[in-house]
Amino acid sequence: MSTPKKHRLFALDALRGLLMVLMALDHANALVAQKHSVGEMWGGRFPVYHDALSFLTRLVTHPCAPGFFFLMGASMVLLAHTRREQGATRWAVSRHLLVRGALIIALKLVVVNRAWELSPGGWGITLYIGVLFALGANLMLGSALVWLKPRHLAVLTVALTLGMEWLVPAASEWGSENSVVRLLLLVPGGLYGPEGATLIWSNYPVLPWLKLVTFGMLFGHWLVQDAGKALDRAWKLGLVLLALFVLVRTLNGYGNIRPRTGSDWIAYLNVVKYPPSLAYTLLTMGICLLLLGLFNQVATHRQQLFRPLVVFGQAPLLFYMLHLFLYACLGHLLAPHGTSLVRMYPLWLLGVAILYPLCLWYGRLKQRQSPNSLLRML
């Protein structure tokens, strides 16, 4: 049984929308509360949390980036399949993905980085390589990979997942000289000027996140073959990944990049994100797949309850660009010197409420455009 092509899949949009809302919490933490921890990097200072609320505020946002890459991969296959059924050539589909990826990178460098520069806590980075850069670049890479057969995508996903772990430098190399190519493609970190100025800071080099895109493509093929069966399989696969996370984390060796920093539950769940370690990937994708299965279960009877998430999930790029400027403004106006997490949470929800009608309007506007219009690409 093939997937209907004229309707979006509720579970995918709802998951994407939930991830957008959680991502907003993370950025409100940075721009409003100014309590955001240092990044969970492969080297350097690792975040230490002294209370559960601070850690949980960060932990619940961890599935966001992996989920975005996974959902993008699945959406690429669904789009390619639909366009081919409508008579488009492979080159026409690949060109669409290439252009869209290039537009996302351009928006990241020209627009989104301006929002980070408004950070009330200060911003000293000349060029920031964030998640939109990696998403756009992987979209461009995926314009060729999207035509791979499912079995080849499975092999590539496993190879990337296991192999990228060996390319991470030893923690002792933190602070050593970097190159632009290395920061863009392989290893998070910074490139500094002669007086210590941060010329480039990269959290999201392209290749470490490619495994999540190819995994999403594989899942996209399952959706094309039988969407109901694929979504029903999601929660079961999620449980398998979480079980593997427990194994990898307990062994505390390969797959962790850095060993645990303590023996409590916070240290156990405090995993390396930059680049995504195997432990981080298993934990976050396990959660994403469980949520995907959950949304599939409620799709028939409780869609209206999750309608706001679908609205956000159908306008992710607009949400992303606007929410950074919005929380930077809220930070300057209401908490220029930062605030507590307890006071930050209502401001996070206020920002989400402000964004809802804008995303609703934009989503409806996009639906009225032709499939190849510039607006539909965004």
4 falls in which pLDDT band (50, 70, 90)?
Answer: very low
Per the prediction, the chain carries an average pLDDT of 93
Q: What are phi and psi of 238, to 5 degrees?
A: -60, -40
Residues 25 and 59: their CA atoms lie apart, in Å, by: 11
Mean pLDDT, residues 146-162: 97
Q: Are 199 and 183 in contact (CB under 8 A)?
A: no
Q: Are 219 and 73 in contact (CB under 8 A)?
A: yes
- State pLDDT tens for residues 226-283: 999 999 999 999 999 999 999 999 999 999 999 998 999 999 999 999 999 999 999 9
Q: How many CB atoms neighbour CB 308 within 10 A?
A: 18
pLDDT tens digit sequence for 34-83: 999 999 999 999 999 989 999 999 999 999 999 999 999 999 999 999 99
Under 8 Å CB-to-CB from 48, ≥6 apart: which residues? Answer: 261
Considering the entire predicted model, what is its pTM?
0.95
Instruction: Provide the pLDDT for residue 267.
Output: 96
By the 8 A CB rule, do 282 and 59 touch? no
| The two three-digit tokens of residue 49, written as one number | 């949390």
Task: Please tell me the distance from the alpha carbon of residue 346 to that of residue 181, in angstroms, as a whole number.
Answer: 41
Please tell me the distance from the alpha carbon of residue 292 to that of residue 230, in angstroms, as a whole number.
10
* Ramachandran region, residue 369 (left: φ > 0; alpha: ψ -120 to 50; beta: rest): beta
Per-residue model confidence (pLDDT) at position 378: 65
**Looking at residues 150-178, what average pLDDT do you find?**
93
What pLDDT score does 177 carry?
83
Interior/surface letters 7-38, b for 16+ CB within 10 angstroms, e for the rest: eebbbbbbbbbbbbbbbbbbbbbbbbbbbbbe
Asked if pLDDT for residue 175 goes beyond 60, the answer is yes
pLDDT value, residue 71: 98
**pLDDT class for 211, splitting at 50, 70, 90?**
very high
Which of 77, 284, 43 has its CA nearest to residue 173? 43
**Model confidence at 196, in pLDDT bands (50, 70, 90)?**
confident
Give CA angle at 294 (344, 276), nearest 5°: 60
DSSP class per residue in 254-290: TTSSS--S-SSHHHHH---TBTT-HHHHHHHHHHHHH
% of residues, the chain, pLDDT over 70: 96
Listed residue (358, 364, 349, 306) closest to 15, CA to CA = 306
